[in-house]
Structure 1
Amino acid sequence: MMAGEMEGRLSGTSVIPILTVQDPEQAVLASEALARGGMTVIEITLRTAQALASIRAVKEALPSLQVAAGTVLDDRQMDAALAAGSDFCVSPGLTPALLRAARDRGCSLLPGVATASDIMCGLAEGFQVFKLFPAMAAGGVALLRSLSGPFPDVRFCPTGGVTRENLGILLAEPNVLCCGGSWMASQSLIDAADWAAIEGLASAAQSGRGTGP
């Protein structure tokens, strides 16, 4: 994977909506609402039995939307995600085996990091964009600023504890490329079929305001 590829994928978005869905039809409807709100990238986590079917359904319905498979832990899940049509994969952490699997498959991967050692492992394999997870529990803005000194060329997608209230604060950090969050398409909004609310939250988040007007 080229070092700048992930940055190119994410450079046009302020936030990646994270969906954990139980039903492919709901996944499509939620994704359509997010797309109407201006989202160009979403993540569907591999935490439910219908996750792969949901990725496949969303890609068929919205081929121009970038769909990432989240919570990818090993090469088996990576293979399944790619077979389902995911555009790239996201992991909560990194291992040498996972990084090698991504390289061997030509798979775009956003690996998770929480420490300087994690970042150094990723850099050694050619990665420069990382998911900072769990972002707020690990230190939030203070951690981002601390990491900017030794790693001036690294960019982050903070995820974990990111809310519409703190989104703007995180995006203001120079080493933050975008953020990941689940509030735009929460399970309660999906269950209520409140697609208008999802669209509105997406629009506010994509503008970098988070909370909306």
Structure 2
Amino acid sequence: MRRLLICLVLPFLLAACGAEPIWAPDEAVKKAAYSTGAPPSVTLFTVIGTSSGQGGHSALMIDGVQRVMWDPAGSWYHPWVPERNDVHYGITDRMKTFYIDYHARETWYVREQTVPVTLAAAEQIRAQAEAHGAVGKMMCANSVVDVLRGVPGFESIPRTLSPLRVSAAWAKLPGATLSDHYDGDPADNSGVLMIQQERIQPAFDANRN
């Protein structure tokens, strides 16, 4: 039994050790900072299989002094969104839409669950995400729980490797709202980032002129 447990746990440990650190320059992070002006909140994104119902990914969008995305072990990337070890800065409404669009396709949908928080709680979660470090594959849900540790109001979120368990607990938090995002794009989303950049490039060029 001990050998079996080691065999089951070892891949997770190796995945966590294999995370590749990314560190955007100070200037890029400072320039990208975006404030919505809305009341502070934290949003849980959960990627769920449309047919299987299995949880595929967990991430947090933290809206405090500025809005950032904690995307542990995520594959989403945009050249105009600087990243520091799975924390993405400059999450405007358009970038939020791009993030959802990247994950939602015919085989997966995205569940968006938002809860109101105090500004102090939002900033504590952001600080803990920034201090956490890059996350290895398959550890996204566990890492989401990590950055919530010690934050008042999130004590009920269980330590787990299951995105669905985190989502189910999140739904019970006071004031939680829920929206599901579906998209009929093909299962292969390799061209999504290119399309996103094409959509935003004309506006960028116009602002430069």
TM class by smaller structure: under 0.3
More strand by share: 2
TM-score normalized with structure 2 length: 0.27
Larger helix share, 1 or 2 = 1
Between Structure 1 and Structure 2, whose CA radius of gyration is higher? 2
